[in-house]
């Protein structure tokens, strides 16, 4: 192939021509989705509004020169932070036009707010009264779709998923723009066009994580349409069955922008330009191909490891956070759009004094937990997971997804999360009295839990579980209910925590099966521990174990009586059958207990740990029974895991204990004797 030689002046003309053609071909801006923060005390002052107007003027000027820029205006407390990001193939003139229209729109639609973001087809504009995090921010988000349905939705879904997995690494490798496009064949008549872009300052890992999350979201929300866009503050993804971007990003349109030729010399100039274009394209393609291949060889091993991990998340799609979410995310779209605050990493580090040992509250399966104090004096608890450990990432995603949707006084409140590099952090409200096990199983601290307080804790846990099972819009199975996952606030009120193992049930689903049994032995229902079957009745079993632990002050897993029973359940059943159920009670309760209430709670606990899930109570029944002194309870049968250490099994109560064989037990009398 002959190499075409062309002059510098013709090259400049060529570049300006491409810019002009891009401008001519550009489409008018589409309807622009936006988000205005509705947080309390978020009204903008007059000074803030004035600073915002000046900031938008600055953004407009800069957009004519740079596709991306962050800027500020004013001083605290009326300081405004702003940024704009134009699509990677948009020239500077079009970028400025898009930014001007976006700022005009956002000023009208978000008037009086301190924080907002607007997305156009070609640009994003954002402002806030706080500094933007240099790391991935995934909220707020928006998903919009094409009006027409795809004629072959299954094929489209597969091709989109495959194409996104290929284009995401291309964007993360582009250190300057974090922008990439991808075109693949969809049918004999149509091609699929994909575009992905991150905020340029994001690290490779943050960009990849943001795009992977966005790809998973767009595959859920596009509803088998011909195209869709998913947008958040840090990245965006779009796919269509028509070309909506130019193949090569155009150059900037400077002050000496070239005007297209006209007149008698036009034909000659156009021919020269056409020849130059052909030659330049060949040279550029070969050069870029050489550079790309060289870089790929040098970084192949490193990138493959990183890409593999994120590709798995994308490939798993909904299954990464459980296929059981699919119903909720399709039918309850408002759940996915709820605001969820992201904490700046630096703020979290400062609050915990750089995760100092003095601030460490404890260590769980997720990782260490630290106390933190924000600048305004608010106390927080920070759960920290190092992503390099390779453990807990799925649990992290699961917990954020589940608990962000829940609001109940007996569930711990998740204030936000933080993602930076190899670190994942969950920020909770701080519980000053730590976890239930910290007090309950300590021989010196358990005196703080008198009978009245333990009853309140039992009732609170029951109401929290009832909310999860029946009263929230989602049916949630906790799967790891235990004393260490019950936190106590200032008033010793219980709050259920740690939703990393939780599962959401959709529709009329009542039971599920898993090959990955998670949780804590000693609290697991037998059908779950041995067969992987779980349901709301699995949580009921765990609640029954926990209730008996609260009464006895002893752990089920470590409850050994020499040559007697090997578990708390066995010991409780033995005492119940002998008519000595009150001996199960923690000795520190002798000065404060109510005998009838203790017996009722033991009875309910045994009904919750029945071997057959069908025989166990529901949490609604438990709440009613705990609140009533007259309700009649059914007779419990022998719980599972209640063999003696010498291998003898308690198959029945001794014949001289009449009430063990009664069909029902009236709680007004209370005693099983």
> In this predicted model, what pLDDT tens digit does every residue of 215-237 receive, in sequence order?
888 888 888 888 999 999 999 99
Q: Does position 519 have pLDDT exceeding 90, yes or no?
A: no
Q: What does the pLDDT read at residue 313?
A: 34
Is there a common fold for 147-250+261-321 and 339-429?
no
Rounded-to-integer distance, Cα 99 and Cα 67, Å: 10
Name the β-bridge partners of 480. Answer: none
Helices 568-578, 595-608: inter-axial angle, 10-degree rounding? 120
Q: What does the pLDDT read at residue 346?
A: 83
Q: Please tell us whether the domain made up of 31-128 is placed in CATH 3.30.1300.10.
A: no
Reported as a pLDDT band with limits 50, 70 and 90, residue 316 is: very low
Domain boundaries, the chain: 31-128, 147-250+261-321, 339-429, 436-666
Q: What length does the chain have? A: 673
Q: Does position 175 have pLDDT exceeding 80, yes or no?
A: no
Q: How far is CA 633 from the centre of its chain?
A: 41
Q: Does position 485 have pLDDT exceeding 50, yes or no?
A: yes
Rounded-to-integer distance, Cα 56 and Cα 73, Å: 9
Rounded-to-integer distance, Cα 210 and Cα 227, Å: 20
Reported as a pLDDT band with limits 50, 70 and 90, residue 262 is: very low
Name the β-bridge partners of 94. Answer: none
Reported as a pLDDT band with limits 50, 70 and 90, residue 209 is: confident
Tens digits of per-residue pLDDT, 93-128?
999 999 999 999 888 888 888 889 999 889 999 998
Q: What does the pLDDT read at residue 500?
A: 75
Q: What does the pLDDT read at residue 554?
A: 92
Q: Are the beta carbons of 540 and 616 closer than 8 angstroms? A: yes
Which residues does 284 contact at the CB level (< 8 Å), separation at least 6?
A: none
Q: What does the pLDDT read at residue 540?
A: 96
Rounded-to-integer distance, Cα 367 and Cα 465, Å: 25
pTM: 0.49
| 44-53, 172-181, 472-481: which is most confident | 44-53
Q: Does position 150 have pLDDT exceeding 90, yes or no?
A: no
User: How many Cα atoms occupy the beta-carbon half-sphere of 270 within 13 Å?
Assistant: 8
Query: Residue 494: which of 540, 542, 461 has the closest Cα?
Result: 461
Q: Are the beta carbons of 478 and 502 closer than 8 angstroms? A: yes
Q: Does position 490 have pLDDT exceeding 80, yes or no?
A: yes
- Is 663 exposed, middle or buried, given 0-12, 13-18 or 19+ CB atoms closer than 10 A? exposed
Reported as a pLDDT band with limits 50, 70 and 90, residue 566 is: low
Summary mean pLDDT of the chain: 76
Q: What does the pLDDT read at residue 276?
A: 57
Q: What does the pLDDT read at residue 223?
A: 82
| Ordered strands of the 68-73 beta sheet | 34-36, 116-119, 123-128, 80-86, 68-73
Tokens of residue 539, six digits: 């949580």
Which residues does 321 contact at the CB level (< 8 Å), separation at least 6?
A: 394, 397, 398, 401
Please give the positions annotated as active site: 480
Rounded-to-integer distance, Cα 198 and Cα 628, Å: 58
Higher pLDDT, 597 or 420: 597
Q: Does position 492 have pLDDT exceeding 80, yes or no?
A: yes
- Is 31 exposed, middle or buried, given 0-12, 13-18 or 19+ CB atoms closer than 10 A? exposed
Q: Which residues of 643-660 are buried (b: 16+ CB within 10 A; e: fewer)?
A: ebeeeeebeebeeebebb
The DSSP output letter for 35 is E
Helices 451-466, 536-552: inter-axial angle, 10-degree rounding? 170
Q: What does the pLDDT read at residue 442?
A: 92
SS3 (DSSP) at 427: strand
Whole-number percent of the chain with pLDDT over 70:
68
Sequential DSSP letters for 394-451: HHHHHHHHHHTT---TTBPPEEEEEEETTEEEEEEE--TT-BHHHHHT-TTTGGG--H
Per DSSP, the chain holds a count of helices (H) and strands (E) of: 17, 23
Q: What is the CATH architecture assignment of 436-666?
A: Orthogonal Bundle (1.10)
Phi, psi of 84 (to 5 degrees): -135, 150
CATH topology of domain 339-429: Phosphorylase Kinase; domain 1 (3.30.200)
Query: Residue 405: which of 506, 543, 508 has the closest Cα?
Result: 506
Q: What does the pLDDT read at residue 579?
A: 94
Q: What is the dihedral of CA 40, 45, 49, 51, to 10 degrees?
A: -110
Q: What does the pLDDT read at residue 541?
A: 96
Q: For residues 564-570, give the mean pLDDT.
A: 76
Rounded-to-integer distance, Cα 462 and Cα 496, Å: 10
Reported as a pLDDT band with limits 50, 70 and 90, residue 75 is: confident
For the chain, how long is the longest CA-to-CA vector?
119
Q: Does position 257 have pLDDT exceeding 70, yes or no?
A: no
Q: What does the pLDDT read at residue 432?
A: 93
Tens digits of per-residue pLDDT, 432-444?
999 999 999 998 9
3-state SS record for 264-314? CCHHHHHHHHHHHHHHHHHHHHHHHHHHHHHHHHHHHHHHHHHHHHHHHHH
Tokens of residue 380, six digits: 């927080």
**CATH of the domain spanning 147-250+261-321:** 3.30.430.20
The DSSP output letter for 91 is -
């Amino acid at each position: 192939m002959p190499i075409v030689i062309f002059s510098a002046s013709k090259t400049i003309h060529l570049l300006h021509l491409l810019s002009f053609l891009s401008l001519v071909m550009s489409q008018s801006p589409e309807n622009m989705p936006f988000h205005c923060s509705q947080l309390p005390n978020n009204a903008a002052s007059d000074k803030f509004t004035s600073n915002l107007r000046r900031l938008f003027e600055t953004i407009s000027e800069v957009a004519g020169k740079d596709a991306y820029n962050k800027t500020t205006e004013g001083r605290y407390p009326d300081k405004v932070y702003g940024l704009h990001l134009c699509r990677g193939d948009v020239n500077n003139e079009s970028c400025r036009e898009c930014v001007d229209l976006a700022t005009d729109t956002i000023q009208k639609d978000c008037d009086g707010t301190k924080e907002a973001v607007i997305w156009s087809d070609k640009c994003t504009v954002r402002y806030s009264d706080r500094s933007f995090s240099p790391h991935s921010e995934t909220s707020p988000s928006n998903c919009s779709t094409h009006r027409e349905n795809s004629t072959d939705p299954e094929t489209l879904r597969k091709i989109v998923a495959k194409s996104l997995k290929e284009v995401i690494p291309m964007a993360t490798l582009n250190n300057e723009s974090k922008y990439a496009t991808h075109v693949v064949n969809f049918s004999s008549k149509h091609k699929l066009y994909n575009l992905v872009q991150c905020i340029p300052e994001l690290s490779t890992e943050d960009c990849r994580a943001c795009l992977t999350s966005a790809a998973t979201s767009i595959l859920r929300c596009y509803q088998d349409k011909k195209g869709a866009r998913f947008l958040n503050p840090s990245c965006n993804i779009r796919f269509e069955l028509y070309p909506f971007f130019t193949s090569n990003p155009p150059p900037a349109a400077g002050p000496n922008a070239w005007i297209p030729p006209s007149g008698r010399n036009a034909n000659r100039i156009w021919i020269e330009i056409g020849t130059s274009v052909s030659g330049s394209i060949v040279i550029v393609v070969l050069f870029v191909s050489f550079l790309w291949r060289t870089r790929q060889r040098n970084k192949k091993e490193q990138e493959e490891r990183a890409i593999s991990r994120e590709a798995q998340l994308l490939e798993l799609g909904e299954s990464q956070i459980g296929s059981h979410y699919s119903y909720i995310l399709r039918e309850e779209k408002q759940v996915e759009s709820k605001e969820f605050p992201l904490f700046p990493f630096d703020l979290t580090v400062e609050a915990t004094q750089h995760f100092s040992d003095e601030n460490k509250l404890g260590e769980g399966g997720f990782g260490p937990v630290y106390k933190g104090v924000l600048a305004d004096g608010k106390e927080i608890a920070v759960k920290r997971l190092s992503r390099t450990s390779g453990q807990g990432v799925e649990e992290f995603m699961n917990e954020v997804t589940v608990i962000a949707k829940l609001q109940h006084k007996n569930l711990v409140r998740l204030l936000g999360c933080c993602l930076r590099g190899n670190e994942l952090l969950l920020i909770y409200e701080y519980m000053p009295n730590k976890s239930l096990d910290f007090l309950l199983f300590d021989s010196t601290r358990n005196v703080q839990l008198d009978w009245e307080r333990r009853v309140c804790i039992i009732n609170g846990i029951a109401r929290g579980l009832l909310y999860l099972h029946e009263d929230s819009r989602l049916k949630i199975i906790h799967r790891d209910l235990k004393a260490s996952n019950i936190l106590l606030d200032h008033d010793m009120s219980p709050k259920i925590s740690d939703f990393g193992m939780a599962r959401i049930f959709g529709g009329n689903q009542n039971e599920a099966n898993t090959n990955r049994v998670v949780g804590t032995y000693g609290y697991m229902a037998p059908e779950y521990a041995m067969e992987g079957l779980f349901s709301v009745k699995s949580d009921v079993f765990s609640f029954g174990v926990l209730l008996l632990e609260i009464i006895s002050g002893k752990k089920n897993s470590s409850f050994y009586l020499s040559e007697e029973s090997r578990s708390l359940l066995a010991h409780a059943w033995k005492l119940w059958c002998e008519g000595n159920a009150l001996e199960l009670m923690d000795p520190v309760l002798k000065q404060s207990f109510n005998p009838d209430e203790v017996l009722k709670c033991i009875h309910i606990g045994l009904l919750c740990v029945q071997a057959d899930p069908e025989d166990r109570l529901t949490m609604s029944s438990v709440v009613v029974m705990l609140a009533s002194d007259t309700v009649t309870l059914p007779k419990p049968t022998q719980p599972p895991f209640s063999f003696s250490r010498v291998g003898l099994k308690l198959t029945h109560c001794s014949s001289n204990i009449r009430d063990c064989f009664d069909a029902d037990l009236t709680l007004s009398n209370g005693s099983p004797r």
